[in-house]
Amino acid sequence: MRADARRNHDRIVAAAGAVIAEHGAEASLEQIARHAGVGSATLHRHFPTRQALLETVFKGRVEALCVKAQDLLPGPDPAAALITWLRAVGAHAVANRGLGASLMQGARDADPALGSTCHAMIVDAGDALLARARQADAVRPEVTTTQLLKLVSAIALATEREPDGPAEADRLLSLAIDGVRPR
């Protein structure tokens, strides 16, 4: 990719992230192009579909969550590591205002491969942390990463439009975490 094309690509991705954070995942592509300072044709050359753009924005953010999981994995307290990561996933979900749900819905409607990479990445990262927490008897044995991610997603969805959404999501996550601890 030429240097100017790379700059346009990066500007579009950054603009999409900002516009999605402000207006949600259904923000118009025209609005994203304007925010990036490019024309609609430039946006569509780089991202022929809304799903392709969402996948790119989402994947970068999911990669950051996976790095965080890897950083937390060797920590001395497996339960604290899992909880810290779930809080980061929750904050990510609240900040992305429907991005994950929109991406997964679009993937089901269009190309089943879209979104599956991000989903697999996040589940793998969570599986490693959950396995350590299980070994330490810090979580109930029947708890799965998918269940935890569904809880976090539901909490994020319920709080994403509230003025104190991240704080409320964190409070609700604390309540949910108490339910996954061993009895």
Residues 6+ away with beta carbon under 8 Å from 47 = 12, 53, 56
Q: Which of the pair, 127 or 173, is modelled with greater confidence?
A: 127
Look up residue 115 and give its two tokens: 């979104």
pLDDT at residue 107, rounded to an integer: 47
The answer to whether 112 and 149 are in contact (CB under 8 A) is no
pLDDT at residue 97, rounded to an integer: 65
- Of the pLDDT bands very low, low, confident and very high (cuts 50, 70, 90), residue 30 is very high
pLDDT at residue 112, rounded to an integer: 54
> Looking at the predicted structure, is the pLDDT value of residue 105 above 60?
no
pTM above 0.85, yes or no: no
Residue type (1 letter), 77: D
| DSSP H helical ranges for the chain | 3-23, 29-36, 40-46, 50-72, 78-95, 99-109, 116-135, 145-159, 165-180
> Looking at the predicted structure, is the pLDDT value of residue 119 above 90?
no
- The string of pLDDT tens digits covering residues 45-100 is 999 988 889 888 888 888 999 999 999 999 999 999 999 999 998 888 877 766 55
Q: Which of the pair, 66 or 175, is modelled with greater confidence?
A: 66
Angle at 159 between CA 155 and CA 166, to 5 degrees: 95
The answer to whether 66 and 77 are in contact (CB under 8 A) is no
The answer to whether 32 and 19 are in contact (CB under 8 A) is yes
Nearest to 32 by CA among 47, 20, 46: 20
Per the prediction, the chain carries an average pLDDT of 85
Among 31-45, 69-83, 118-132, 146-160, the range scoring the smallest mean pLDDT is 146-160
DSSP state, 136? T
